[in-house]
Structure 1
């Protein structure tokens, strides 16, 4: 007897996987590093971090190894880990590479979408702006990451997404809180809305220009200063 294609026996089962403690620990540690809440060069204890997060040592140790493989931390045998020092030259390199990768990619995004509305990205842009206005930095970073990597995912180039994600992780944004307190972070959020407008209008040249300017502005945020003319 042949089982038809519509039979339950031949239907693949999709199972949802809960977020593991390892992933939660990794994202919590990533946020602390990017926000500059862990001082570069400071030796951190895996045991102490596990106690702070309320989990066992194992998922934290695994999370640290994940981030070490991405260049975000350095593992110190029998002591823990530390965040490597980044100088202005390092941040300039990250900014330059992100500009080379992300700015021209916006023209491809516009071509792929062909003027179609992107409500998901408009919603993210509005959430980024609201978080900036309210000074909610963890939400700001999370939504900003979803926005930028999500746009690149539309191109179907996994390597591009991974490369940009790694570059984002290597930057430090110690200046976020200071700019948020001065009300200067809101402009960064509004730049996302302008980019969505250009994408939906099918204006690839404008989208490239906006992304290039947005990344230049972000470079200032990394250093805790507003860019000239912003």
Structure 2
């Protein structure tokens, strides 16, 4: 007897492997939320999500609790969970705090005497650009996260990394699909290469300008909003 999968499960991705199910469920939900694939304000059933992912309810319920602790979802007792509605004001707050944290951090990285560890991030930046060119949004998001948090980790400040990671998770990138469909995501991907080159060259002023422009997308085209001068 063949068990049919729920509608939409195929479109949202393959079933999960039987390894670290809680973590896999958390990452799958994180990606859906950030890409806007889960309608904000709509109550989602843990049972339905578990069925879509091909796992039991327990790892999904645990993943939802993890995401609730990060402020990404709200748990609705005996019903499931929902993704909070994100306003333009919310996006502006996230953008401003990220700018306050990440721009000075990247300038500090550019001004360090030993910038050798930064060089290995060029390959990661190239992979981001490749993912953007191919329209691989899941890969793009994963590599982008590795890139930015990885650079911050070089400064040895765990709290900084955790704070920026949480801010990234609370944002939305609903505009990525449109950019990918129009072939315009590659330009965003290439910005990572310029940032690496500026840091490696020790140019703090250029690094700050590039990073600030890059972060502007988080409240603009990546979020499906217009940007100043667009």
CA contact (8 A) 1:34 1:173 kept: yes
Cα distance, 1:186 vs structure 2: 1.1
Cα distance, 1:225 vs structure 2: 4.3
| Partner residue in 1 for 2:144 | 144
Cα distance change, pair 69–147 in 1 and its aligned pair in 2 (3 A): same
Cα distance, 1:196 vs structure 2: 0.6
CA contact (8 A) 1:112 1:155 kept: no
Q: Larger Cα Rg: Structure 1 or Structure 2?
A: 1
Cα distance, 1:117 vs structure 2: 5.9
| Partner residue in 2 for 1:185 | 185
Cα distance, 1:218 vs structure 2: 2.9
| Partner residue in 1 for 2:126 | 126
CA contact (8 A) 1:179 1:225 kept: no
| Partner residue in 2 for 1:194 | 194
Distance 1:191 1:229 in 2: 18
The runs of at least 4 aligned residues of structure 1 exceeding 2 Å deviation read 111-120, 225-230
CA contact (8 A) 2:119 2:196 kept: no
Cα distance, 1:208 vs structure 2: 1.3
Q: Secondary structure at the match of 1:75?
A: strand
Aligned length, in residue pairs: 213
Cα distance, 1:177 vs structure 2: 0.4
Q: Secondary structure at the match of 1:104?
A: helix
Distance 1:56 1:150 in 2: 32
Mark the runs of 5 or more structure 1 residues left unpaired by the alignment. Answer: 1-17
CA contact (8 A) 1:36 1:173 kept: yes
- Structure 1 residues 109-118 or 86-95, which shifts more? 109-118
User: How much is the aligned-residue C-alpha RMSD, in angstroms?
Assistant: 1.6
Distance 2:81 2:44 in 1: 5
Cα distance, 1:174 vs structure 2: 0.8
Distance 1:158 1:118 in 2: 18
| Partner residue in 2 for 1:15 | none
Cα distance, 1:19 vs structure 2: 5.8
- Structure 1 residues 175-184 or 191-200, which shifts more? 175-184
